[in-house]
Chain A
Amino acid sequence: MNIVETDGEALLVAMRKLLARKNLVTAAELAERTAATDKASPGQGARMVARAWTEPEYRALMLEDGTKAAEAMNIPMRGMPPLGVLENTDAVHNLIVCTLCSCYPRAVLGYPPFWYKSAAYRARAVRDPRGLLAEFRTTLPDGVRIHVVDSTADYRWMVLPKRPIGTDGWSVEQLAAIVREGDMVGVTVPSV
């Protein structure tokens, strides 16, 4: 058996020891990294969306330069892949996938969901997007076109969903509260 075929949990324990002894990766560095990753969450993206819904200039910035828009919300983006934001409209609905692996806008939204990384999602999104949306109980109105965005390279993509009807006069906090992780991937749409 090739040594890399060893059980993953055993490999991790051994690698952790070896790399700490060589002073290449310490326990403190691992803890620091986990803490930084934990700060990112769909809530960050939701706050960006809510602001875009209420401030036309911020919406324009978000669509032009997602990285700058994230930084404007104090989301650390230095050294992170560039962020691209795609807007859902009455005519077009965007759906994000990474068919080759699991590229995801982690700096903004945090860890990718389990389903996003699955073979079924990765295979079906680019070929049967409406069938895939149905798995999430999402049906789009007739006549809406779908753009499936396959994240293959250096950019990470998120969706700016359509602001739902019935939210006139809502505060950014109220708006952010109705934006879920799936809305920013395109598998669901926000509703009141």
Chain B
Amino acid sequence: MNFSPGDRVIVKDDWPETRGPVHIRTPHYLRGHAGRVLRYLGDHPNPEDLAFARPAAQRSLYHVSFPMNELWPEGREDDEVVVEIYEHWLEQP
């Protein structure tokens, strides 16, 4: 899946850590939330596999912005959290 700057994306509401030992780099507070792609950050080997010394496929990495008021009850609308997210954690709305 390829995303472009400006694309609206949703972080998958998936919880692999509840199913067994994993290593996930998508923070819990973003799961299920909508954000906007800022930038493509290149392809990198999937850390979820590197962590277990398994062969790791290249995955596209994106910088994605999330408005704080959508993440936290006290968050301000104008503030953002910007996070590097791998393509396989992002869906189109």
- The distance in angstroms between the C-alpha atoms of A153 and B78, with both chains bound, is 25
Asked if A146 and B85 sit within 8 Å, CB to CB, the answer is: no
Asked if A150 and B79 sit within 8 Å, CB to CB, the answer is: no
Contacts of B29 in A (CB 8 A): 99, 126-127
Contacts of B83 in A (CB 8 A): 149-150, 152
Please classify the interface of chain A as helix (H, G, I), strand (E, B), loop, or mixed, using the class held by over half of its residues: loop
Asked if A152 and B25 sit within 8 Å, CB to CB, the answer is: yes
B72 CB–A CB distance under 8 Å: yes
Contacts of A126 in B (CB 8 A): 27, 29, 71, 81
A147 CB–B CB distance under 8 Å: yes
- Digit string of A152-169 for contact with B (CB within 8 Å is 1, else 0)? 111100000000000000
- The distance in angstroms between the C-alpha atoms of A128 and B76, with both chains bound, is 10
B84 CB–A CB distance under 8 Å: yes
Asked if A145 and B41 sit within 8 Å, CB to CB, the answer is: no
In-complex Cβ contact of A148 among B44, B47, B80 (8 A): B80
B86 CB–A CB distance under 8 Å: yes
B26 CB–A CB distance under 8 Å: yes
A120 CB–B CB distance under 8 Å: no
User: Closest B-chain residue to A149, C-beta based?
Assistant: B82
Asked if A152 and B42 sit within 8 Å, CB to CB, the answer is: no
Asked if A145 and B25 sit within 8 Å, CB to CB, the answer is: no
A77 to chain B, nearest CB (A): 15
- Residues of chain A in range 89-108 having any CB-CB distance to chain B below 8 Å: 99-100
- Digit string of B41-81 for contact with A (CB within 8 Å is 1, else 0)? 11010010000000000000100010010011011101111
Asked if A148 and B82 sit within 8 Å, CB to CB, the answer is: yes
Q: A82-B42, A127-B72, A127-B75 are in contact. Are A152 and B80 (CB under 8 A)?
A: no
- Digit string of A114-152 for contact with B (CB within 8 Å is 1, else 0)? 000000000000111100000000000000011111111
Contacts of B72 in A (CB 8 A): 127
In-complex Cβ contact of B79 among A100, A147, A151 (8 A): A147
Q: A126-B81, A155-B84 are in contact. Are A150 and B44 (CB under 8 A)?
A: no
Report, nearest first, the 5 A-B pairs whose CB atoms are least far apart: A153-B84, A145-B78, A154-B44, A146-B79, A150-B83
B residues touching A (Cβ–Cβ < 8 Å)?
A: 25-27, 29, 41-42, 44, 47, 61, 65, 68, 71-72, 74-76, 78-86
Q: Other CB < 8 Å A-B pairs besides A127-B71, A146-B79, A147-B82, 4 of them?
A: A145-B79, A145-B80, A151-B84, A155-B61
